[in-house]
Amino acid sequence: MIQENVDITHRHTFAIATQARAWADYTTIDELRQLIATARERNLDFMPIGEGSNLLFVKNYSGLLLHSCIRTIETIREDDEWVWVKAGSGWIWDDFVAHCVQQGWGGVENLSYIPGTVGASAVQNVGAYGVEACDVIEQVSVLDIETLQEHTFTVEECLYGYRSSLFKTEWRGMFIVTAVTYRLSKKPQFKLAYGNMKAMVGEKPTLQSVRDAVIAIRRSKLPEPSVCGSAGSFFVNPVISREQYASLLETFPDMPCYEVDEERVKVPAGWLIDRQGWKGKCVGDAMVYPQQCLVIVNKGNARAGHVVQLAQDIAFSVFMAYNILITPEVNYVY
């Protein structure tokens, strides 16, 4: 099952020339158990990888990459209003969304066309156009790496926040997601507040028309992973105090913000970066994507060092201009 010395350039969406010491596809939890045991015997580090859409390999990976191909799907239960669906971690996220839309299950249509897998989306709490994965997640099934036992967490236990969960913090490296259970609606309530989505879908939105609108918006702003390497938003949008925001407005009166709570707002990092003149700027073949400055793309032969240098330069300039620290959303893998 284990492939040795694998070229993973096209097994992560940044498409930066990289090798991994070992790679394994698995389709069952038992296979995953065996792989972890083998990695331990061989003294190899290991980590899960989905589509690799949120990773920056800073150097060749010296361990074993565990790639879930668990693509099961099960309706756990349903009533007049809801359906509970358990999807294997290896589903390509957008294939899962397309399946839900086809079945008439609402809740994930705004998350159409996000690169990645079901398993990774539950770690990262992907979000777009007014919806986050945790809005529809009911439970997350995992394998405990230490005990090799299966366990299920409720959505509350995962402590989801903006692009965050305990899987990324306290539980980092402790579990591998094997499946996610979603509660989807048979009577969808559409969320169309973003931009001109309402106008795009017309008077009578359907799951399919919302999906089509989201895909059209993403295509206009974000690079197509199959055409141009990137890892989506490179930074998370920073959360700042309302006090700091008010004082920034004196100098930057058109700075947009998203509401967070009574004390805080979130500001779009793409806007902060754009206003500092980064659009289209390059280090080597790493470039700030002109249509959305929050994204760094690989123009062809970027090396990880170019991306890291560009990201550092951007973060420094944003800090100097606004006294705001922006941090990567992308995970650096060493």
> Which stretches of the chain bind ligand EPU, using CB under 6 A?
128-129, 221-222, 232-233, 236-237, 256, 268, 270-271, 274, 292-294, 329
- Contacts of 205-209 with C-beta under 8 Å, sequence gap 24+, read 207/100, 207/101, 207/104, 207/105, 207/106, 207/109, 208/101
Which residues have a Cβ under 8 Å from the Cβ of 153 and sit 6 or more positions away? 139, 140, 142
Rounded CA-CA distance 93/225 in Å is 14
Q: How far is the CB of 129 from ligand EPU (least distance, A)?
A: 5
Q: Which is nearer to ligand EPU, 99 or 266 (CB)?
A: 266
Just list the catalytic residues: 163, 233, 329
| Buried b or exposed e, range 297-318, using 16+ CB within 10 angstroms | bbeeebbbebbbebbeebbebb
Q: Which is nearer to ligand EPU, 256 or 300 (CB)?
A: 256
Q: Are 117 and 155 in contact (CB under 8 A)?
A: no
Rounded CA-CA distance 60/82 in Å is 45
Q: How far is the CB of 36 from ligand EPU (least distance, A)?
A: 29
